[in-house]
Amino acid sequence: MTPSTDAVEAGMQRALELAARGPATGVNPQVGCVLLRPDGSIAAEGWHRGAGTPHAEVDALSRLGPADARGLTAVVTLEPCDHTGLTGPCSEALLAAGVSAVAYAVADPGEASSGGAERLRAGGVEVVGGVLVEEATEFLRRWLTAARLGRPFVTLKWASSLDGRAAAADGSSRWITGPAARRHVHEQRARHDVVLVGTGTVLADDPSLTARGDDDALLPEQPLPVVVGERPVPRGAALRRHPRGLVETGSRDLVAVLADLARRGVRSVFVEGGPTVASAAVRLGLVDDYLVYLAPTLLGGPRTALDDLGVATIGDQRRLLVTSTTVLDGDLVVVARDQHRRTS
């Protein structure tokens, strides 16, 4: 006897809540697992706490006695892995524990890690995929995008006036937005593996690119700063004092830079460069999320947030889908994505 469909879906909702407790950055996905009894009640639950720690399924199983998992249903946000990395295969752990059924939301897209569902079925376990798949796909969007495209998930951020200017005519830009919007930027930096800028921004603004809290203290999670461009970062630049160090790419090839970052295990990049880097990312189709801070002010002049995008006629415009809007002390925060891009 297995739990009802309603109980499995409720278990998946709980598994997603648990998954959110795991680290938002790093090479591994956020995964949650709930072990259900036949009547739908929860016997144990777990989540993945980062690279090298037990996966969600093993974490949940560890909270039971040696034979207590027999006959239970494992509800997991991502298909159980079937490979040995820093930890062993979750498919084998579930088989050894004697679970009778496994329900998962999203299939694992990895060539090395996928195949857990097939291994479990071959071992006599009832397996159902696609439970709350839309919710789980959205939750795992960053990691899935990186896994499927072979490059990090890219968030492009800029702050501008309502008329689209990122600076006044003399180049001054501090501050277009208010403190609340700037705090939000720091929170977003902390939720990405890398913060990326061009050498033009480094030379013009000398940014520190750290993630800081209300008291200006460093947040626990810090992105790795990466500079795109051929000019060296000056010796006395603030970036050279960043707690994570500094990566100078020596290249303006964004595609190659992102590919190299992917090989280093980077799964998310926060692009804060000026119009040159930002526009290149848009032109090349590398942007997954747009994070735009609009201040209720007008500047006029030539200092636009973006420059040439290769849009010669209105038919070539890059239409976006706005997914959220938030007002922070008068500044409007807009999150958008390409209308036609899919994670799956």
- Which of 16, 27, 250 has the alpha carbon at shortest distance from 139? 16
Tell me if 46 sits within 8 A of 213, measured CB to CB. Answer: no
CA-based Rg of the chain, rounded to a whole angstrom? Answer: 23
**How far, in Å, are 81, 127, 175, 214, 336 from residue 276 at the CA level?**
41, 49, 20, 30, 20
- Which of 335, 339, 340 has the alpha carbon at shortest distance from 290? 335
Token digits of residue 181: 């919007």
Among the listed residues 45, 57, 79, 272, the single catalytic one is 57
Longest dimension (CA), the chain: 72
Tell me if 325 sits within 8 A of 332, measured CB to CB. Answer: yes
Our answer to whether residue 57 is catalytic in this structure is yes
Tell me if 41 sits within 8 A of 72, measured CB to CB. Answer: no
- Which of 245, 250, 246 has the alpha carbon at shortest distance from 228? 250
Please identify every residue annotated as catalytic. Answer: 57
